[in-house]
Each structure stands twice: as C-alpha cells, then as structure tokens.
Amino acid sequence: MRAIKIYEVLSFERGKDPKTAMGIGQVQILADLWKKFEKEYGSNLANPQKTPDGSFLRVYAGKGVMRCFDKIKKIFGTKWFKWSENFTDLPHVYFKIKPEFDDIFNKAYTLIINSTNESVSFQREKEPYKSLEIGKYAPHIVKFKDYDGEVQTIKVQNNAFKLFDMAVRIEFKEDPDIGVMGDVYVDGQKSSINLFKMVPFDYEFKSEGYGMPIAKDEEDLKRLKEEHSYWTAMSGDYSRESKDPFSAAAQLILFTY
C-alpha cells in the first residue's frame, strides 16, 4: 500500500504557515468526531464552555451519566480531555478540555454550527411543510427549552428526529372533524402522545372583540389563520404548546419519559 504523505491529506494554501494548516486539519478531525457523537447521542447536546478552572465540553446527560461518559470516550478517545478533571453537575457532565485544544474546540463548534445552518433551507416565518405535500415537513432545526430551562436542539428530517438516545417519528393525518393531527412514535412504538393543530375560527378574524386582526379578504383570512395557529402535544393531564409540532412533541417527551 502506498504511504499517504501529510501534504496529501491537509487542505491549505501554499503560502500558509504549516502550523496553522495543521490546526485546520485538527479542527476538521474534531468536527467529524463531534458529528459522529451527535448522530449517536443526540444533536447539539454538547458545547464548549469557559470557566475559571479552564475550558470544558458541557454535555447534557440527563439521567444517563454513565452512557454519556462511555459515548464520549468511545468516540473522542482520551486525546482531547483531562479525564482526571471531568465532573458531573446533573443534568450535565463536564469534560475538561486540554489547554492546547481549547481554540480547536471553539473552531470545530463554530464549523458544525455553520454547516448545520447552511443545510437548513426553509423560510422561518412559514411552516416548513409549505414547500412539500401536506404532512411532509422539510428538514429543519428546532430549538426549545426543556423542563430545566436548558435550550435543546433537534434536527428534523423525514418527520423524525433524535432526542438523546430516543428515535422519534411523527405520522401526520387529517381528520374531517378534528383537523390536522399527528401520532408520535418513540423507538418504533406508538406513544400516548397525540398532536393537534389548533387553528382559530374564521369569525375570530371578521369581528372585533376576539383580540385578532381583522382579515381584509379571503386570502388575508387564510394567512392570518395560519399565522395564529399552533400545535398542542397532549398525553393524559400533560400538554405542551409550540408553533412547531416537533418542538411540542419533544418537550412533552422529555417531561413524561
């Protein structure tokens, strides 16, 4: 087998300092490991944080602390962290980043965020299924706060997303009496959670006193109804609301599972 030389795997301009180029190579390596971790553990659950004691990779672990440690060690290895200085502050685990990799972690994190944003192609003011058939949502990113007030992020694709180690999928349907709704599946099993799209009545936009703007015409009425609609996820006595159905479902899953 032919040996691969270092200049064949590094992507840098000829005039650039070799140490800088080597740093770029490590950023990409770390970003690739990070993406693998997100794919197996959950999207955007880890981010670098500076503290008086140094820089740490903070990972949302919930109740799965040991699983979090195992995944980090399996995917990242021991190169990047000072394992003797890791600590747990539930629901998070903090992995001490070696000082020489501090800048590389920040650049890798920025690289991942930028690549994620570039892959999202939809107008934020519109529901993402507008460009596709009803009930089929375009790939998009959803941010929401969990019951601890922490911001979580999920990547929706083909009406499905990863939530920690859970695979969540929503099947949308339209009932002639109820309207648009959805069944929520967790790890392939239908859950007790149901989604309902809450759409205001026409008369709320045709008369003052309902707190809604007055529709100018039928086209404006259609727009206003969509603009003021929202989704409710329900399971027993519990419910969560959001403009995005996947956000409502994810919030209730974290609260009830």
Query: What's 36's domain CATH number?
Result: 1.10.1420
Task: Please enumerate in sequence order all residues whose Cβ is within 8 A of that of 221, keeping only pairs 6 or more positions apart, or say none.
Answer: 202, 205, 206, 215
Average pLDDT over residues 35-52: 78
User: Range of 30's domain?
Assistant: 6-119
Q: Are residues 54 and 134 in the same domain?
A: no
Residue 172 · residue 160 · CB < 8 Å: no
Residue 40 and residue 79 in one domain: yes
Report the C-alpha gap between 183 and 171 in whole angstroms: 5
Q: Which two tokens stand for residue 157?
A: 């694709």
Does residue 177 share a domain with residue 63?
no
Q: Tokens 């990242």 label which residue?
A: 76
Nearest Cα to Cα of residue 201 among 225, 166, 234, 174: 225
* pLDDT digits 0-9 by tens, 70-126: 888 899 888 899 989 988 887 788 999 999 999 999 888 888 766 655 444 444 444
How many separate domains does the chain show?
2
Is residue 176 domain-shared with residue 90, that is, in the same domain? no
**Which of 59-63, 210-214, 248-252 shows the highest mean pLDDT?**
248-252
Residue 75: helix, strand or coil by DSSP? helix
Collapsing DSSP states into helix, strand and coil, what is residue 29? helix
Query: What mean pLDDT do residues 11-25 have?
Result: 47
Q: Among residues 119, 143, 169, which one ends one of the domains?
A: 119
Residues 56 and 172 in one domain: no
- Pick the closest to residue 59 from 79, 32, 81 (CA basis): 81
Picking from 87, 102, 119, the residue at the C-terminal end of a domain is 119
* Per-residue confidence (pLDDT) for residue 71, from 0 to 100: 87
Closest CA to 188 of 153, 216, 160: 160
> What confidence score (pLDDT) does residue 185 get?
94
Last residue of a domain, one of 119, 140, 163: 119
pTM assigned to the model: 0.50
Same domain, 82 and 153: no
- Give residue 210's pLDDT band: very low, low, confident or very high (50, 70, 90): confident
- At 131-173, the pLDDT tens digits run 334 456 778 898 888 877 888 899 998 899 999 889 999 999 8
pLDDT band at 63 (very low <50, low <70, confident <90, very high): low
